[in-house]
Structure 1
Amino acid sequence: MFSTIIRYQFRRNLGIPNQCRTLFTTDVFSKRRKTAEEKKSPKIIEYSPKKSANKTKTFGTVDIWRNITVRELANACDKSLDDVQEVMLYVKGADDIEPSARLEDVKIIREIVQKCGLKSKIVAAPEKEEIEIKDRDVVPRPPASPENLRPRPPVVTVMGHVDHGKTTLLDSLRGADVAAGEAGGITQHIGAFTVQLSNGESVTFLDTPGHAAFSAMRARGANITDIVVLVVAAEDGVMAQTREVIKLAQETNVPIIVALNKIDKPEADIENSKRELLQMGLNLEEYGGDVQVIPISALKGTNLDLLAESVSTQATLMGLQSEYVGPVEGVVVESQTHSKRGKLSTAIVTRGTLRKGSILVSGLAHAKVRALFDHNGQPVEEATPGTPVEILGWRELPMAGDLILEVESDRKASSVLRYRQAESQKMKAEENIEHIKAKEEEHLEKYLAAREARRLAGKFKMRNKGPRQKEISSDDGSPRVNVIIKGDVHGSVEAILDVLETYDRNDKCKLDVVHYGVGDITEGDIELAKTFNAIIYAFSVNVPMKGTKTVSIRPCNIIYRLIDDLKEEISSKLQPVEVEEVLGEANVLQQFMINDGRKQVAVAGSRCVSGTLKKKEKFKLIRNGEVIHIGELESMRHLKNEVDSIKNGVECGLRFKEAYVHPEQGDILACFTTHMEAQKTDWDPGF
């Protein structure tokens, strides 16, 4: 103890710092005590960073050049972009601090570098390396080599005029009653299915709609088909849509097989139908051409085996082949949103073999295939070329008619979609640039005219008069009909929108499509309809029980009935107009001048030639086909008696209230009345 006190006093006299005193005040007892405490308590190991052998990094001179971007300047200064942008806020003239903004003034660049605590040196701008584009589009593969090709089933599209028996023909071929499930017997959208013929071969059939409203869908059907079976009713011959199909097939160089249907009817005229087909430019076989004409009865099954044999023969002559390996390629035939299974699409595989787990891209939609179904709704493991299949797993709903391509990963699919969306926006901007320039010129013209008017008035400062007006008026007071279209499949919605495009936008009543989509009606659709006071047209989709009392929801399953209902709705919004009704006409035979007090007035000696003339109604004075006066009568006399009406064939004297009106011989006096009548829209959708 005494020795410890001596050591402490010794250190104090030497001036040893307090933080170092503990190094000299250790003895045996203190060591043993600390060791015991350390054994009881857990060990705490403190890590201190190792001192770097390198010295602190020092910045040298920063290379700068004219038109350097803010991001490039930050990289040159080895500082973060936020730090450089914050420094630019305190530099006069550095207004644009966006990363892509270019700094043109070298003095401003020097000042920014100086405020960053660095020196600068002006150098030439470095040559830019070509930046690799990460987001690229995916395109179909080059044609396959002949050794990889194998035969595939033909894709046959059945086309023709409405109610000529297309769906009935397909029912007979595959032994199923489809027409009974179609609204009004009219195919509302494309159906794709495979038929096993009696000779063992498979054929993929596309049933395209026959209604005029679905011309776009028929066009898609011709683009993905190998053979067109043109159904023509023997009783009607070549109709309007038959001509469209022939023209469409000729433009796409697709072989045609004519199925002359309904030959069992008494009024069927086969020879006349063939003559009309010849007039349309079809070279029939019996006249030395290559177009087969098969007389059939789809209802009774007459000559259907002959038609199937013709299709098989034509497919054999064409030698249809495809590649069964490699990335999948296909075409979307139809797409829809199922209430339980989600987004679905019916597609035809044109190349490769589609399996579960494949990553697909179609337009602006992509999918990871979760399940595949055939035309009967049964799950399948794979789909080969020429086979229609229903695909489950789409993230977004693909557009009917779009090309399907397989990619290697989700990352690649996202990259392709980003590229396509950017290209789509670029194309949209290019389409609108002319309209934007026209608006700018119009605005500039108005501005210059207003400025010149102010200068002439001696006013050089523009002042607003009253409150500022809204840029866009929500309602201009004109009649308006807002609609929301919800359909079962994309093709139906597209066809309805195509018909609505034929409506004249300059009509007295405005027609606006607030929203459209595929699938059942949702709560969002109902809320949207409440906001815009819109009518919801449910085309072959389920109607919810809630919200139907507050919103007008009109279910329909035939497109022309939807359009008829919409035309009635538009007509109900139009204001009634005044309509003239001619009651009778009279020919002026001679003019008489009579005294009425001190002045002379003209009286038209006339004969009623049609209808009845009534004194209380208005009269038109027509001379040489031109109306020169409209007014009321002061007097109507038969012989010397004042009367209220004159019948057909009776002569009379008529005098207008206006004394300056002088009817002449040969003029026509028309008696007419007016009444208010409801207007009807003259919208003609084309069917």
Structure 2
Amino acid sequence: AELLSKEKELVKAEEIIKQQEAEEKAQKEAEAAKLAKIKAEEEAPKKDEIIKAKVAKKGTTVLGKVELEPKTKKPTKKEAPKASEPKEEEVPKTEIPVKKVDQLIKASAGKLKGVKITGQKIDLSQFKKPEKVEKKKRVRIVKAKVDPNKFKKGRKPRREAVEISPEEAQKRVRETLEKLQGRGKKKSVKNRRDKRQAHRDVAEETNQQATENRSIKIAEFATASELATMMDVSVNEIVTTCMGLGMMISMNQRIDAETIQMLAEDFGFKVEFVGADVQESIEEIEDTEEQMQVRAPIITIMGHVDHGKTSLMDYIRETNVIAGESGGITQHIGAYEVTLESGKQISFLDTPGHEAFTAMRARGAKVTDIVVVVVAADDRVMPQTKEAISHAQAAGVPIIFAINKIDRPTADPEKIKGELAEMNLLVEDWGGKYQSQDISAKVGTGVPEILEKILLEAEMLDLKANPDRLAQGTVIEASLDKGKGYLSTILIQKGTLKVGDYVLAGSFSGKVKAMLDERGETMNEAGPSTPVVLLGLDGAPTAGDEFHVMESEQEAKKIASRRGQLQREQNVRTQKHLTLDEIGRRIALGDFQEINVIVKGDVDGSIEALSDSLQQLSTEEIKVNIIQKAVGQISESDVMLAAASDAIIIGFQVRPSLQARKLAETEQIDIRLYSIIYKAIEELKLAMEGMLSPDVEEQIVCNIEVRDVFKISKVGTIAGCMVLDGALSRNTGVRLIRDGVVVYTGELSSLKRFKDDVAEVRKGFECGMSIKNFNDIKVGDIIEGYAEVETKRTLI
């Protein structure tokens, strides 16, 4: 009995141990699954979570006890039979290794004998080719037999003449007259007459359209392929026709106007030659009233030379710009934008007053809204003043008179108003319609009042423009800068111009690389009535040309190329050739002379003005022939052209390059350099009249290069220089040249070597200098020293 009870207890203990082992295994599996789940969550892509900071708690928080050992069910309290003892006595069984015996397995390959029947059927109908569809037989159309004798040539039988009575003849005549006059007896007669008239009208319209279709509009010097396209014929026919006329041409060769006329007549066409404006017209976009916005007025200041136009602008702008103008006269059109104290903006154009700048004043009157004519109170109404008034009246713009210099003792404003009244220009003080204001540009008297009158006139004009469109405007001036390229001063009249736009101006185009205002500051965009300096065109357009912003660069280049071609053609057409009559006239005169001139300048407007003035000096005995005029410094090619054509070179505000100067000395070409336009005109006039006498002439005594620049607060800008050739002395006049263009002409204020004042510095030595009233000196500038020497002058 005791043994049985012990055996039962042992069995119970074994069951308890097995139960504990099963629980431990289940717990381990649960932990493994939990770890696998955590690992999967860590490997999964985490979403962006916003982690909010929790409020930190002070002190320690008791959370409880953490059991580190896994819980196990305690066995029953019966401790007599220890279940762990028999488990400890168990000895792990050792596995006896079984020896592997290599066995050879022979491959049993059996050959198939005979046909193996699988029992499956294959439908062979799918491999049949589609049957051909029988075509219907064509049924020939049997034409009716033609009588061979029907179209035989020969005499046809005469119709027998039927004699009619006089009564019948009169009746037929009367019926015919009634038909012609529309008085037929029946309505059908009138309907037939109307029908015939309608047919006649249609026929006339058709003939007119045919005539129009047989006329072509083409530019001169077009290519053979372009002409063939216009006439709707092949190029080979054009080439063959030209070969018949004794000319060998290719399909891309340009043909002159006479040949085009001849070829068109051969093919039955009429030719109408068109210019650049018709050939490459740009579509104008009309702005609606909702798109229009108020814009600033454009004011052009006009008047005689030295009557105070630039002084008035100087006072308005509160900057000293007169010091930069040679001889105290304005050489270029100045475009400025002024913001008044009230916040309103006004754009000013300051035009030159010298008589040579007629074309510039005419352009200024065309692009402006209001003209301010400046007249000196101590002078009279001069010819250029009358010309400026005429330009303004021709352009149809309002005129405001500014009677300047009233601060002088000899000023008489009433006298000026009386002279204006003699020209039918009554001012408001005298009961007229023209506004006037007595001012002193030097002191500033009356300047605010004239600005108020300008704004009042602008409000009456109701000036508006659409800024939300492609920009359009006028070229005011153009020049060439060696470092920046071609610079064009433009005035925007419509739309907004932005950096990166594709611009077409005359026969030139380009992408806007940068825009500068009158102070040299960069701009990203400019709206209506804004004057800007444009960088990016591939040439210098003519002052007065319109500019347009195009949709693409290809479109702008295409139109510019076409305009350039037409301009070259026009220049070829207008060249005057020597005729027999001209030769006979020269032989009769005996002493006929011709002066060939090459004009180079810094801006296009000055070149145009100088060329026009020189050509006006031509007489019956002496002729001034301008063979070339261009923007930029005098180059070697200009000297070679002058040598080939026996010409003189006139430079206006430019200087020749070193190579051009040496070549001119070798070829003995006369180069005349001027900074004031009327001096060039006067000297050429003296040369033409044969009145050249010993005169004061400039002689270049040294060339100096700026190596370094120092700025001292009380002294100004000091230039550290190296004398390249010649000798520099204290009384030598200096001319600062930057990229071949004269920037400033003046005299030295100090000349030092190290710390000592010196009277002269020779070639190869360094020195320090400062220029009187000028501080804009940069490294790399060339300073040219000159002296006035009396020499005997020769023209050619």
TM-score bin, normalised by smaller chain: 0.5 to 0.7
- Which aligned pairs between 1:366-385 and structure 2 lie closer than 5 A? 366-385=509-528
1:539 matched to which residue of 2? 652
2:607 matched to which residue of 1? 493
Is the counterpart of residue 561 in structure 1 residue 679 in structure 2? yes
Query: Any idea what the Cα deviations from partners look like across 1:491-511, whole Å, max 9, x if unmatched?
Result: 10000111122123521x443
Structure 1 position 533, deviation (Å):
3.7
Contact between 2:506 and 2:545, CA under 8 Å: does it hold in 1? Answer: yes
Q: What is the aligned counterpart of 2:637 among 509, 515, 524?
A: 524
Query: Any idea what the Cα deviations from partners look like across 1:49-107, whole Å, max 9, x if unmatched?
Result: xxxxxxxxxxxxxxxxxxxxx99xx99xxxx9999999x99xxx898786789xxxxxx
User: In the superposition, relative to structure 1, how do residues 148 and 234 fare at CA in structure 2: closer, same or farther (>3 Å)?
Assistant: same
Instruction: Please state whether the residue corresponding to 2:290 is helix, strand or coil.
Output: helix
Matching residue's letter, 1:569:
A
- Which aligned pairs between 1:141-180 and structure 2 lie closer than 5 A? 141-180=284-323
Matching residue's letter, 2:478:
S
Structure 1 position 219, deviation (Å):
0.5
User: In the superposition, relative to structure 1, how do residues 95 and 229 fare at CA in structure 2: closer, same or farther (>3 Å)?
Assistant: closer
Structure 1 position 439, deviation (Å):
7.2
Instruction: Please state whether the residue corresponding to 1:393 is helix, strand or coil.
Output: strand
User: In the superposition, relative to structure 1, how do residues 411 and 213 fare at CA in structure 2: closer, same or farther (>3 Å)?
Assistant: same
Measure the CA separation in 2 of the matches of 1:100 and 1:194: 52
Contact between 2:600 and 2:650, CA under 8 Å: does it hold in 1? Answer: yes
Q: What is the aligned counterpart of 1:221 among 361, 364, 372?
A: 364
Matching residue's letter, 1:152:
R
1:249 matched to which residue of 2? 392
Structure 1 position 289, deviation (Å):
3.0
1:196 matched to which residue of 2? 339
Unpaired segments ≥5 residues, structure 1: 1-69, 102-124, 128-133, 444-468, 575-679, 682-687
User: In the superposition, relative to structure 1, how do residues 369 and 300 fare at CA in structure 2: closer, same or farther (>3 Å)?
Assistant: same
Q: What is the aligned counterpart of 2:617 among 486, 503, 510?
A: 503
User: In the superposition, relative to structure 1, how do residues 240 and 140 fare at CA in structure 2: closer, same or farther (>3 Å)?
Assistant: farther
Structure 1 position 407, deviation (Å):
1.3
Measure the CA separation in 1 of the matches of 2:479 and 2:386: 30
Structure 1 position 287, deviation (Å):
3.2
Is the counterpart of residue 318 in structure 1 residue 461 in structure 2? yes
Unpaired segments ≥5 residues, structure 2: 1-223, 253-266, 270-275, 693-793
Contact between 2:315 and 2:444, CA under 8 Å: does it hold in 1? Answer: yes
Measure the CA separation in 2 of the matches of 1:268 and 1:362: 45
Bigger shift: residues 247-256 or 398-407: 247-256
Structure 1 position 248, deviation (Å):
1.7
Of Structure 1 and Structure 2, the greater strand share is in 1
Structure 1 position 167, deviation (Å):
0.5
Measure the CA separation in 1 of the matches of 2:635 and 2:444: 44
User: In the superposition, relative to structure 1, how do residues 563 and 411 fare at CA in structure 2: closer, same or farther (>3 Å)?
Assistant: same
Contact between 2:403 and 2:437, CA under 8 Å: does it hold in 1? Answer: yes
User: In the superposition, relative to structure 1, how do residues 511 and 226 fare at CA in structure 2: closer, same or farther (>3 Å)?
Assistant: same
Is the counterpart of residue 512 in structure 1 residue 625 in structure 2? yes
Measure the CA separation in 1 of the matches of 2:562 and 2:512: 22
2:146 matched to which residue of 1? none
Contact between 2:474 and 2:491, CA under 8 Å: does it hold in 1? Answer: yes
Measure the CA separation in 2 of the matches of 1:512 and 1:188: 23
Matching residue's letter, 2:612:
D
2:559 matched to which residue of 1? 416
Measure the CA separation in 2 of the matches of 1:236 and 1:431: 42
Query: Any idea what the Cα deviations from partners look like across 1:8-53, whole Å, max 9, x if unmatched?
Result: xxxxxxxxxxxxxxxxxxxxxxxxxxxxxxxxxxxxxxxxxxxxxx
Measure the CA separation in 2 of the matches of 1:320 and 1:299: 31
Structure 1 position 315, deviation (Å):
1.2
Matching residue's letter, 1:373:
L
Contact between 2:365 and 2:395, CA under 8 Å: does it hold in 1? Answer: yes
1:481 matched to which residue of 2? 595
Measure the CA separation in 1 of the matches of 2:364 and 2:334: 10
Matching residue's letter, 2:491:
I
Contact between 1:140 and 1:329, CA under 8 Å: does it hold in 2? Answer: no
1:302 matched to which residue of 2? 445
Measure the CA separation in 1 of the matches of 2:476 and 2:392: 18
User: In the superposition, relative to structure 1, how do residues 292 and 515 fare at CA in structure 2: closer, same or farther (>3 Å)?
Assistant: same
Instruction: Please state whether the residue corresponding to 1:306 is helix, strand or coil.
Output: helix
Measure the CA separation in 1 of the matches of 2:238 and 2:435: 78
Matching residue's letter, 2:510:
A
- Which aligned pairs between 1:419-458 and structure 2 lie closer than 5 A? 419-421=562-564, 423-424=566-567
User: In the superposition, relative to structure 1, how do residues 254 and 140 fare at CA in structure 2: closer, same or farther (>3 Å)?
Assistant: farther
Instruction: Please state whether the residue corresponding to 1:147 is helix, strand or coil.
Output: coil
Measure the CA separation in 2 of the matches of 1:487 and 1:237: 32
Instruction: Please state whether the residue corresponding to 1:483 is helix, strand or coil.
Output: strand
1:455 matched to which residue of 2? none
Matching residue's letter, 2:614:
L
Query: Any idea what the Cα deviations from partners look like across 1:251-285, whole Å, max 9, x if unmatched?
Result: 22111111110101111112111111222222322
Structure 1 position 421, deviation (Å):
4.4
1:60 matched to which residue of 2? none
Is the counterpart of residue 274 in structure 1 residue 423 in structure 2? no
Structure 1 position 199, deviation (Å):
1.4
Q: Which has the higher contact order (CA 8 A, sep 6+)?
A: 1
Measure the CA separation in 2 of the matches of 1:85 and 1:245: 55
Instruction: Please state whether the residue corresponding to 2:378 is helix, strand or coil.
Output: coil
Measure the CA separation in 2 of the matches of 1:572 and 1:273: 40
User: In the superposition, relative to structure 1, how do residues 420 and 268 fare at CA in structure 2: closer, same or farther (>3 Å)?
Assistant: same
Structure 1 position 429, deviation (Å):
7.8
Contact between 2:617 and 2:685, CA under 8 Å: does it hold in 1? Answer: no
Structure 1 position 141, deviation (Å):
1.9
Measure the CA separation in 1 of the matches of 2:579 and 2:646: 31
2:133 matched to which residue of 1? none
User: In the superposition, relative to structure 1, how do residues 482 and 425 fare at CA in structure 2: closer, same or farther (>3 Å)?
Assistant: closer
Contact between 1:81 and 1:99, CA under 8 Å: does it hold in 2? Answer: no
Structure 1 position 514, deviation (Å):
3.1
- Which aligned pairs between 1:571-590 and structure 2 lie closer than 5 A? 571-572=689-690
Structure 1 position 417, deviation (Å):
2.7
With normalisation by structure 1, the TM-score equals 0.57
User: In the superposition, relative to structure 1, how do residues 479 and 410 fare at CA in structure 2: closer, same or farther (>3 Å)?
Assistant: same
Contact between 1:153 and 1:320, CA under 8 Å: does it hold in 2? Answer: yes
Measure the CA separation in 2 of the matches of 1:524 and 1:551: 12
User: In the superposition, relative to structure 1, how do residues 98 and 485 fare at CA in structure 2: closer, same or farther (>3 Å)?
Assistant: closer
User: In the superposition, relative to structure 1, how do residues 96 and 349 fare at CA in structure 2: closer, same or farther (>3 Å)?
Assistant: closer
Contact between 2:615 and 2:626, CA under 8 Å: does it hold in 1? Answer: no
Measure the CA separation in 2 of the matches of 1:94 and 1:209: 55
With normalisation by structure 2, the TM-score equals 0.50
User: In the superposition, relative to structure 1, how do residues 97 and 242 fare at CA in structure 2: closer, same or farther (>3 Å)?
Assistant: closer
Instruction: Please state whether the residue corresponding to 2:452 is helix, strand or coil.
Output: helix
1:647 matched to which residue of 2? none
Measure the CA separation in 1 of the matches of 2:389 and 2:637: 44
Instruction: Please state whether the residue corresponding to 1:315 is helix, strand or coil.
Output: helix
**What fraction of aligned residue pairs are identical, expressed as a percent?**
39
Measure the CA separation in 2 of the matches of 1:269 and 1:402: 41
